[in-house]
Amino acid sequence: VLCKIYHAYLPLSLPPQLPVPIAVFFLLYKEQMVPCFNSSSHPLLSADELAMETRPAEKDDISTTVQKPHEAGGHDDLFSCCQSKNFRGASYAYFAVHITGALVLFMTDGIVGEYSGFVYSYAVEEPLSVVHKVAGYLPSLFWGFITLGRLISIPVSYRMKPATMVFINVVGVLITFLLLLIFSYSVVFLFVGTASLGLFLSSTFPSMLAYTEDILQYKGCATTVLVTGAGIGEMVLQLLVGSIIHDRGSYSFLVCGMIFGCLAFTFYIFLLFFHRMYPKPSSGMDDASPDKPAVTDDTGQYQR
């Protein structure tokens, strides 16, 4: 009987997202982008076939005379953006923009994770002592206003710069946590603050990606740094806040959020500072950016 129960519940114990990384790994394997596994089969698309088809007509003569280095072997290596040769000649402001942008997302996405994970526990304990059924609406309210905020941010982004949107979001998160601390005994304001926090956090991630794209004129490698910083923050801050709440009590939940909001605002100020120091791109592409595509001179040799 125990064996039957084990086999019955075994599929339910597997995470529902498991097929997604398996499918992604299979695609990377087929495209010969996994360095440890060399596939003998041909890639699904040879030599950026899709990009060649969608290239403008006026650049066809250049594409026929210039052969890309990775045409023979498919795409670049999965970790090619981490090679040191890609960062030669880059200014320190280039790396500073990456680091400060990743730290802002580390804090803001960490706040999303820790708030949605512990707002229920904070509400049901003293001094609020909200009924469990009522407190269960708080995470749903938080995620609902995150979805609403992302819908609202689409038309707003047409009229407002990404830097301004990130500034409003970070300042709004900071003010919301400050008011939650002041009115910590109010159940009504807990619901209002949860909705406000969801609105301000909703568009921080896409606005930060758009803002750093305007600064760096990057491709995919810089996106990896920002997304990795956001994912690590969402994972680490939940563990940190959970251990602090266990030792210090539920009130430390709002204190941690306030501290994370202050850090996100501080890192954003540093990002604005490094933005002013970063050289402006010329002719549509930044000369100091390591992600600038290679061009050829008259001799046919590649240069950056």
CATH number of the domain to which 105 belongs: 1.20.1250.20
Q: What pLDDT score was predicted for residue 73? A: 42
Confidence check: pLDDT of 112 > 90: yes
- Tens of pLDDT, residue by residue over 47-60, are 555 455 545 544 44
Q: Is 105 among the domain residues?
A: yes
Peptide bond into 127 cis (omega under 30): yes
Q: What pLDDT score was predicted for residue 20? A: 64
- Separation in Å, CA 301 to CA 42, 69, 153, 285, 297: 28, 11, 45, 20, 6
Confidence check: pLDDT of 141 > 90: yes
- Separation in Å, CA 19 to CA 10, 25, 33, 163, 200: 15, 10, 19, 37, 32
- Separation in Å, CA 174 to CA 18, 102, 263: 36, 18, 10
Q: Is 271 among the domain residues?
A: yes
- Tens of pLDDT, residue by residue over 176-199, are 999 999 998 899 999 999 999 999
| % of the chain with per-residue pLDDT over 70 | 62
Q: Which domain holds residue 168?
A: 93-277
- Tens of pLDDT, residue by residue over 148-181, are 999 999 999 899 999 999 999 999 999 999 999 9
Among the ranges 28-42, 74-88, 102-116, 120-134, which has the highest mean pLDDT value?
A: 102-116
Confidence check: pLDDT of 244 > 60: yes
Q: Is 68 among the domain residues?
A: no
| Rounded distance between C-alpha atoms, residue 207 and residue 32, angstroms | 33
* Cβ atoms 135, 250 nearer than 8 A: no
Q: Is 87 among the domain residues?
A: no
Element (H, E) at 303: strand 302-303
Q: Is 64 among the domain residues?
A: no
Beta bridge partners of 296: 302
Task: Mention every residue, 6+ apart, whose C-beta is less than 8 A from residue 87.
Answer: 94, 95, 290
Residues in the chain: 304
Question: How many domains is the chain partitioned into structurally?
Answer: 1
Confidence check: pLDDT of 299 > 50: no
